[in-house]
Amino acid sequence: MKQFCFLDWNVYKDAKKLFLETRELSNTLSFDDKRALGNQMLRSSLSIVLNISEGSGKSSPKELIRFIDISLGSLYETRAALDIMLDIEKLSQERMPIFDEQIRSIANQLGGLRKKKRGEI
């Protein structure tokens, strides 16, 4: 297997873009909101990226699937944090569909990768 193959994966690139955009959003928050919600959103969005990369280095498809599942869980956590930010008016109604499109795309890519790897078990 190619070393650092995740660097070529679109799902990795898209997850990294999502992280950078949640980071930008977090930087607009007040100290209290950033501490309470922003930091958790950053951790969950970073977890997506890091679990994709860590899973790519595992020796078996089954191990990669486990990390894909962790990434999916972190993706859902990130979406929930964005939903809360929308409710407390820290995220605009106009920007939310952009995040939703990114999140759906990443979820679909992770699901496709999981399906492909299940076929290798």
The whole-model pTM stands at 0.93
**CATH annotation of 18-118:** 1.20.1440.60
Report pLDDT digits (tens) over 46-59.
Answer: 999 999 999 999 98
Task: Give 114's Cβ-side CA count (13 Å radius).
Answer: 15
Give pLDDT tens digits for 63-108: 999 999 999 999 999 999 999 999 999 999 999 999 999 999 999 9
CA distance 117 to 121: 7
6-15 pLDDT, tens digit per residue, is 999 999 999 9
d(CA 30, CA 35): 8
The pLDDT, as a whole number, for residue 59 is 84
Residue 7 has what DSSP assignment? G
